[in-house]
Structure 1
Amino acid sequence: MRHQVKGKKLSRSTPHRKATLQALSVALIKEHRIKTTVAKAKELRTFIEPLITTAKVDNTHNRRKAFSSLQSKEAVTALFETVGPAAKDRPGGYTRVLKLGYRLGDSAEMAVIELVDFNDIKPETKSSKKKRTRRAGKSNKPTSASESSTTTTKSDDADTEETKSKKSAETAEVEAKEQSTSESSEDTSSEEKEDK
């Protein structure tokens, strides 16, 4: 039994788990926000927050401690130059975990873990509305699209009045042309009758 044994195993052996947390930590330090599963995000908090606490004091000993955990020179440099000074006044709680919903492939619960000092804007969470399929019937509720269509119909009415006036002018011209052609045809037919 695992009495008072802290941390989750994440279905990994010890070296695999350590490598996973190292990789997630390096990504979080570089990007300031990553998307992962909820279990990994909660485990990552216990791994990275002590490192950020040590990064508040920049000296050789603390840099070596951080390098032994991260195994990445670029991540250690970013940790001590950007993340540590930003968290100087914060007494703890350097990360935030926000749940996103469930992954489509295996229904794993997903989350975003981010550094609090770098991300004040909350990410857009998945909406609870399901996407409509073609088979789904349309609802009878009025939507904003129908409201906008009523406003467009009013402007369309004004447009149609203008087009009607243009059409009436065009039809008047066409009728005048027809009358003139019919008169000319009558004239030619009357001339033919006179010749006979």
Structure 2
Amino acid sequence: MRHQKAGRKLGRTSSHRKAMFRNMLTSLFEHEKIETTDAKAKELRKIAEKIVTLGEKGDLHSRRQVLRVISDKKIAKNLFDQIAPRYQSRNGGYTRIFKVGRRHGDNAPLSLIELIPEENVQKPKKRASGQQKKREAVSTAPK
């Protein structure tokens, strides 16, 4: 029985799986979106969320932990300098997965996983209260 076993094996050895996800993470942080199968995208999301959280911390220990996974120093620097700061006010949910259909060769279900773009949150302007609206309407009415 397979009770309480987290994660997918994806038909690969543990070393192959680890190398594959390291490469996929590097590509995700380099291009900010990649297309892959549904199962790989769902597994990649878990790892990517943890890496972005480490990027938000930004201390030396976090940098070393990220460099263990992402071997390209330029991409790791980009993660700490540009990607992680855009999610400072966000608690998780840094990635988004879209289903994009099926692969032509083997009919495998494909998904697009992307980093959520920076949100420009603007507060809505306060509307005038009811009495002020009436005064404005009366004062602008033609006589």
TM-score, scaled relative to structure 1: 0.58
The residue that corresponds to 1:87 in the other structure is: 87
Cα deviation for residue 117 of structure 1 reads: 2.4
Q: Which amino acid aligns with 2:69?
A: S
Aligned with 1:9: secondary structure?
coil
Q: Which amino acid aligns with 2:102?
A: Y
| Alignment partners' CA distance in 2, 1:56 and 1:111 | 26
The structure that has the greater radius of gyration is 1
Q: Which amino acid aligns with 1:70?
A: I
Does the 8 Å contact 1:87/1:117 carry over to 2? no
The residue that corresponds to 1:152 in the other structure is: none
- CA displacement, residues 73-92 of structure 1 (integer Å, 9 cap, x when unaligned): 12211110111101111111
| Alignment partners' CA distance in 1, 2:118 and 2:9 | 29
Alpha carbons of structure 1 residues 107 and 118: separation in structure 2 relative to 1, 3 Å: farther
Aligned with 1:36: secondary structure?
strand
| Alignment partners' CA distance in 1, 2:78 and 2:30 | 7
Does the 8 Å contact 2:87/2:118 carry over to 1? no
Cα deviation for residue 58 of structure 1 reads: 1.4
The residue that corresponds to 1:155 in the other structure is: none
The residue that corresponds to 2:5 in the other structure is: 5
Percent of residue pairs bearing the same amino acid type:
39
| Alignment partners' CA distance in 1, 2:78 and 2:11 | 30
| Alignment partners' CA distance in 2, 1:75 and 1:14 | 24
Superposed, 1:2-151 pairs within 5 Å as: 2-117=2-117
Aligned with 1:24: secondary structure?
helix
Cα deviation for residue 2 of structure 1 reads: 3.0
Q: Where do 5+ consecutive residues of structure 1 fail to align?
A: 120-196
The residue that corresponds to 2:134 in the other structure is: none
Q: Which amino acid aligns with 1:3?
A: H
| Alignment partners' CA distance in 2, 1:101 and 1:29 | 23
Cα deviation for residue 3 of structure 1 reads: 2.3
How many residues were matched structurally? 119
Superposed, 1:158-169 pairs within 5 Å as: none
Cα deviation for residue 118 of structure 1 reads: 5.0
Q: Where do 5+ consecutive residues of structure 2 fail to align?
A: 120-143
| Alignment partners' CA distance in 2, 1:20 and 1:74 | 19
Cα deviation for residue 103 of structure 1 reads: 0.7
Aligned with 1:6: secondary structure?
coil
User: Which structure: greater helix fraction?
Assistant: 1
Write out the 4+ residue segments of structure 1 that deviate beyond 4 Å after TM superposition: none
Q: CA RMSD in A?
A: 1.4
Structure having greater relative contact order (Cα 8 Å, sep ≥ 6): 2
TM-score, scaled relative to structure 2: 0.79
| Alignment partners' CA distance in 1, 2:118 and 2:110 | 21
- CA displacement, residues 113-151 of structure 1 (integer Å, 9 cap, x when unaligned): 0001259xxxxxxxxxxxxxxxxxxxxxxxxxxxxxxxx
| Alignment partners' CA distance in 1, 2:98 and 2:3 | 29
